[in-house]
Amino acid sequence: MWTGRGIGTRPVPAGRLLRQAAAGLLGCPEADLVISHRPGGAPLVERGTGLGRVTVPASVSRHGGVTVVAVRADGPVGVDVERHRCLPALGLARRWYDPSEVAWLAARPEAGRDRDFLRLWTAKEAVGKALGVGLRAGGSRRRMPVPDTGRLRPVPDVAGIWVGHLDSSGALVLAVAVVGGEAEVVVVEEA
């Protein structure tokens, strides 16, 4: 996964980060890669043609001048980033989340509730992207595992999907989801 900070509110171009990430994953020059999109808009990075063609699923998220991309050779991936901010976490959760998530959020310390809300939200977005459906068809009510920084965990009631959060002590809340089982997440930050 690659992150890049733009200038002001202008994010780093996602295509540049996608090429850097995929070139690192595939061990090839960036010039050998072509970015295309699936019917729903999700990016794919391709190398080669015909029988030698390699297609790498990818995901992009942008928020407040930050661009995050994820690429994965072993199957679909989803990523989402939000900037930590104060918000009416319980009110929003009651409107959008599964009742068990609302109960978990209500039991959390009030001082960190907005971050916990965003951790659930970014997980839902990342899972929706990995599944190729976004938040359509009740995705905001799809139950997520209790957020746990540093490792991927299986998503309840959705076989083969894992989601996790990276260090969320700073200004960003970042989630990644993968299809097909637990995976190692490597973060590369572009200055």
Q: Look up residue 136 and give its DSSP letter.
A: T
The confidence score (pLDDT) of residue 65 equals: 79
The confidence score (pLDDT) of residue 7 equals: 52
Is residue 118 within 8 Å of residue 83, measured between CB atoms?
no
Residues 6+ apart with CB under 8 A from 10: 65
Q: Which residue type is seen at 88?
A: P
For the chain, the straight-line distance linking the first and the last C-alpha, in angstroms and rounded, comes to: 14
The confidence score (pLDDT) of residue 111 equals: 92
The whole-model pTM stands at 0.88
Q: Look up residue 159 and give its DSSP letter.
A: T
Domains and CATH numbers, the chain: 2-190 (3.90.470.20)
- Which residue's entry shows tokens 């971050």? 115
- Report the sign of the C-alpha dihedral through residues 103, 135, 131, 64, in that order: negative
pLDDT tens by residue, the chain, 191 residues: 556 665 555 556 788 888 999 999 999 999 999 998 888 788 889 998 878 889 899 999 988 778 889 998 888 999 999 999 999 999 999 999 999 999 999 999 999 999 999 999 999 999 999 998 877 766 788 899 988 766 889 999 889 999 998 865 678 899 999 998 777 776 676 64
The confidence score (pLDDT) of residue 135 equals: 76
The confidence score (pLDDT) of residue 117 equals: 96
